[in-house]
Amino acid sequence: MADVAAPNSIAAMGDSRSSLHKLMQRKSTVAFLMALPLILLILILVAYPAGYAVYLAMLNKGMTRFVGFGNFEFLFTRDTFWLVVYQSCLFAITAVIFKAIIGFVVAHFVHNIPSKGQRKWRGMLLVPWVIPPAMSTLAWLWLFDPSYSAINYLLEPLGVGRIPWTGEAGWARFSVILVNVWIGAPFFMIMYLAALKSVPEQLYEAAAIDGATWWQRIWFVTLPMMRNIIAITALFSLIVTFANFDIVRVLTAGGPLNSTHIFGTWAFRVGIEGGDIPLGASVSLFMVPILAVAATFILRDITKRGSEV
Amino acid sequence: MASRKVSRRRFVAGTAALSTAMVAAPFVRGAYAAGKLSLGLWDHWVPGANKASEALIKQWADKEKVEVSLDYITSQGNKLLLTTAAESQAKSGHDVLSFSTWLPSRYADQLVSMNDVMEPLIKQNGAVNATVEYLGKVGGKWLAVPSTIGSQIKGPCSRIDLMKQLAGIDVQAMYPAGSPPKADAWTFDAFLKAAEACHKGGHPFGIGLGTTSDSVDTAGALFHGFGAQLVNAKGDITVKSDNVRKALDYYKRLMAFLPEDAPAWDDASNNKWLVSGKGAMIMNPPSAWAVAKRDAPKVAEQLWTHGFPAGPAGRYAPFLPFFWGTWNFSKNQSAAKSLMVFLSQASSAEKMVEASGGYDLPAFANFTTFKTWAEEAPPKGTLFSYPNPYNHQVLSIAAAPAPHKIAEQIYTQAIQTQMVVRYAKGEAMDKTLDWAAKEIEGFSRN
């Protein structure tokens, strides 16, 4: 039996070797193998923690039994949670709008600087984005210090009274948004600048021949050509801003009166500091479905426009 | 061929071990005939204070022939809190770990009973105060041993000169070094008048109303002074009581004399307030005085740490103990307990108190008269009253006597200071009480 089987098995081995050889020659296989280290890293550092967070969010406070969506149902009954939802939306949407506007305007200024001096400006304008946010926020904390604010010191000779930057709800919200805009605007600026440089000069020339004003050039040429970049940048920034932690944690720790808490900081307060890890996990996961839907729509729109082109 | 699966628990254990290994760790090696012991102790603020505990542990390890590895874990950025949470999840970590105030009760199910350590220690060293018992003993089981390192009373630290000039109060005469306090007149009314006078004189009391520990502790002691409990020991919500209303009314009047930005203060703000010379009083352990001694000696010379004012329900001061505990998955529990007994001896406690410049506070009744507190200067005797040597005030913690799981949330979410700020900023009393009751109701979930 073995004698008979041997040639077959050799042939089979030969076949499998050649099919493995063919498989290895496929571009997709090579691409997969080259991407494998990254896929493994993502599985370990992203997929596993995310799955574990979902598992934690479905446990009771004592982490002894499965409660399904019980923690989310409980959150919906809490006033503080809705305050956090409101603040997270206010924080993220306001900050992204201002970052986009400032980034757009500054990108135009930089674009119009002669190329010789442009590199210096680009470098300088990127500094807030390059410094680790926890560190730069510490500097802002000193500028906004309740008792010794350097900004108040400068405003005093101008007759402006002491501003409670982090001591009053409205000002505290303003302060955290301001710092977020300061850190994030350079990212928008550099993305928009890259997009501006890719707009063909002929389009502007044609518009000029047609007698278009500067506003018409922006509205009918620049903005349509930058649409995809604007959408992607806004989406990425929205996700990152919703998930922010360091700025609020360092600057106000969520105070005063919980008026600056966002999902990340409140999840930490409830889960780690307060010892209710399942509820903290639920808070941190709350935005995932909403952001996923937003991301789907924005990315679908971009794909659609891509296929139209 | 046997295959080895990496379980979730094993993976988390590995992650925790890796993060632990990243903590800077001096290594103390003994002859290790009696096994190994890993320690994760709180990294002291006071420069050089770690050296005392390190030397003591080495002395014990040499004697007991135990190989010891020692990590000092900072509480900055909640590092110690995160390490504790990671070890609890991973069911792997240090044999002896420092647990801050509420953590023994949080991890009660995972901690080894310390009854066999605490009962003889109490007989030998005297009783521990009711707050240590409330935080460290649940259901008749001692969950951890009170640690000298890091435990503190957050009583008033006053400017001798300013209190005399502006409020007419001689804090040294009220709390003399070397003899019992003469503080019968030091009441909430007197405190309020002094706050008003110092505010008028341009040196307001530096009492925060933020959400960090210093603000919460002061509010807790003032609430206790009125007998104002948010939740009683049975777990009933008692927010809407006359005593809570009285406490809020009092705080509203007091808040008018505090710095305007007090609701934004953190634990560093009051220290800065005192060291800068702006304030006539703060509520803090002697760390602010120690910083002043280094950075503003003229201010330090005028500082005097003393007792809390008395309220209608008694004289309460905030006490924040640290504990040493051992996980039930620890591999060398007997060595861990032996070390805790050694560190809880008078000679060990005294060395730690000395190394911390009087900051550390042993929990046992017989350990409140070490010479460090009598001798520290300037001015001489400034810390004499700090360890409550005549037991004239009740050491307390905010949110007690509520069941621990509720109390911890009241404390960490700063419900009391938030109530004060809401009410003082014009919210109706009933609305503030309703808000607090609803928040606390949420903390009661299982």
Concatenated DSSP letters for B263-304? GG--TTHHHHHHHTT--SEEE--THHHHHHHHH-HHHHTTEE
pLDDT at B48: 86
| Span A283-304, average pLDDT | 82
Candidates B284, B310, B318; CA nearest to B186 is B310
pLDDT at B10: 57
| Span B258-284, average pLDDT | 93
Residue A26 has pLDDT above 90, yes or no: no
Radius of gyration of chain A (CA): 27
Higher pLDDT pick, B40 / A308: B40
Are the CB atoms for B126 and B364 separated by under 8 Å? Answer: yes
Which percentage of chain B shows pLDDT scores above 90?
Answer: 87
pLDDT at A9: 55
Q: Are B176 and B314 found together in one domain?
A: yes
The A-side interface with B (CB below 8 A) comprises: 48, 52, 60-62, 74, 77-80, 146-148, 162, 164-168, 172, 252-258, 269-270, 272-277
Are the CB atoms for B300 and B292 separated by under 8 Å? Answer: yes
Cβ-Cβ contacts under 8 Å, A147 against chain B: 259, 261, 269, 272-273, 278
| Token pair 């050491």 in the structure block, residue | B395
C-alpha A93/C-alpha A101 separation (Å) is 12
Tell whether B376 is covered by a domain.
no
- Enter the tokens of residue B4: 């080895």
B418 and A275: CB-CB below 8 Å?
no
Interval B76-115: pLDDT, tens? 889 999 999 999 989 999 999 999 999 999 999 999 999 9
Q: Are B305 and B397 found together in one domain?
A: yes
Q: Are B267 and B137 found together in one domain?
A: no
| Span B44-65, average pLDDT | 93
CATH of the domain at B82: 3.40.190.10
C-alpha B325/C-alpha B147 separation (Å) is 9
Interval A264-293: pLDDT, tens? 999 999 999 988 999 999 999 988 887 888
| Span B382-386, average pLDDT | 96
Q: Are B194 and B341 found together in one domain?
A: no
> Per residue in B215-239, is it b (16+ CB within 10 Å) or e — as a string?
bbbbbbbbbbbbbbbbbeeeeebbb
Q: Are B304 and B332 found together in one domain?
A: no
Candidates B416, B105, B409, B81; CA nearest to A279 is B409
Q: Quickly state the pLDDT bin for A8 (edges 50, 70, 90).
A: low
Residue B189 has pLDDT above 50, yes or no: yes
Residue B22 has pLDDT above 60, yes or no: no
Tell whether B374 is covered by a domain.
no
C-alpha B69/C-alpha B63 separation (Å) is 15
Would you tell me the crossing angle of helices A277-285 and A48-57 to the nearest 10 degrees? 120
Q: What is the DSSP letter of A160?
A: P
Tell whether B369 is covered by a domain.
no
Cβ-Cβ contacts under 8 Å, B422 against chain A: 257
Report the first-to-last Cα separation within chain B, whole angstroms. Answer: 46
Candidates A251, A245, A305, A292; CA nearest to A84 is A245
Number of domains in chain B: 2
Listed range (A153-162, B64-73, B135-144) with the worst mean pLDDT: A153-162
CA count, 13 A, side-chain hemisphere, B8: 8
Question: What is the longest distance spanned by two Cα atoms in chain A?
Answer: 104
Are the CB atoms for B325 and B96 separated by under 8 Å? Answer: yes
Residue B249 CB neighbour total at 10 angstroms: 14
pLDDT at A167: 87
Cβ-Cβ contacts under 8 Å, A79 against chain B: 435, 438-439
Q: Are B35 and B68 found together in one domain?
A: yes
Q: How many DSSP H helices and E strands does chain B contain?
A: 20, 12
- Residue A306 C-alpha from the chain's centroid: 23
Residue B2 has pLDDT above 70, yes or no: no
Are the CB atoms for B302 and A176 separated by under 8 Å? Answer: no
Q: Quickly state the pLDDT bin for A161 (edges 50, 70, 90).
A: confident
| Span A150-164, average pLDDT | 88
Residue B112 φ then ψ, to 5°: -75, 140
Q: What is the mean pLDDT of chain B?
A: 92
Beta bridge partners of B318: B396
User: What sign results for the dihedral spanned by CA atoms A9, A14, A18, A23?
Assistant: positive
Q: What is the DSSP letter of B78?
A: G
Tell whether B273 is covered by a domain.
yes
C-alpha B70/C-alpha B92 separation (Å) is 16
Q: Quickly state the pLDDT bin for A13 (edges 50, 70, 90).
A: low
Tell whether B379 is covered by a domain.
no
Cβ-Cβ contacts under 8 Å, B266 against chain A: 253
Find the domain containing B269 and state its range: 153-319+393-443
Candidates B307, B336, B289; CA nearest to B64 is B336
Q: Quickly state the pLDDT bin for B427 (edges 50, 70, 90).
A: very high
Partner residue opposite A274 with nearest CB, options B263, B265, B409: B409
Residue A12 has pLDDT above 60, yes or no: no
| Span B7-28, average pLDDT | 48
Q: Where is A22: in which H helix or E strand? A: helix A2-25
Candidates B34, B44, B38, B43; CA nearest to B16 is B38
Listed range (B32-46, B209-223, B399-413) with the worst mean pLDDT: B32-46
- Enter the tokens of residue B251: 């705080």
pLDDT at B159: 97
Residue B20 has pLDDT above 50, yes or no: no
Per DSSP, the residues of B318-341 read EEEEEEEE-BTT-S-HHHHHHHHH
Q: Are B64 and B184 found together in one domain?
A: no
Residue A4 has pLDDT above 50, yes or no: no
- Enter the tokens of residue B275: 């060291």
Q: Quickly state the pLDDT bin for B32 (edges 50, 70, 90).
A: low
Q: Which residue of B has its CA nearest to A65?
A: B446
Q: Are B146 and B257 found together in one domain?
A: no
Q: Are B108 and B44 found together in one domain?
A: yes
- Enter the tokens of residue A290: 């909403």
Query: What does chain B come to in residues?
Result: 446
| Span B408-436, average pLDDT | 96
| Span B11-26, average pLDDT | 46
Interval A186-223: pLDDT, tens? 999 999 999 999 899 899 899 999 999 989 999 999 99
Q: Where is B355: in which H helix or E strand? A: helix B346-355
Q: Quickly state the pLDDT bin for A44 (edges 50, 70, 90).
A: very high
C-alpha A306/C-alpha A228 separation (Å) is 9
pLDDT at A299: 79
| Span B303-332, average pLDDT | 97
- Enter the tokens of residue A182: 């300061």
Candidates A240, A227, A222; CA nearest to A95 is A240
Residue B119 CB-density burial (10 A; 0-12 exposed, 13-18 middle, 19+ buried): exposed
Candidates B87, B91, B96; CA nearest to B117 is B96
Tell whether B44 is covered by a domain.
yes
Residue B3 has pLDDT above 50, yes or no: no
Domains of chain A: 1-57 (no CATH), 69-308 (1.10.3720.10)
pLDDT at B114: 97
Q: Are B29 and B72 found together in one domain?
A: yes
Q: Are B112 and B75 found together in one domain?
A: yes
- Enter the tokens of residue A265: 């900081």
Candidates A282, A287, A268, A269; CA nearest to A55 is A282
pLDDT at A252: 92
Residue A23 has pLDDT above 90, yes or no: no
| Span B163-183, average pLDDT | 97
pLDDT at A307: 60
Tell whether B373 is covered by a domain.
no
Tell whether B122 is covered by a domain.
yes
Gap from B173 CA to chain A (nearest CA, Å): 32
Among B residues 88-117, those touching chain A with beta carbons less than 8 Å apart? 102, 106
Q: Are B285 and B339 found together in one domain?
A: no
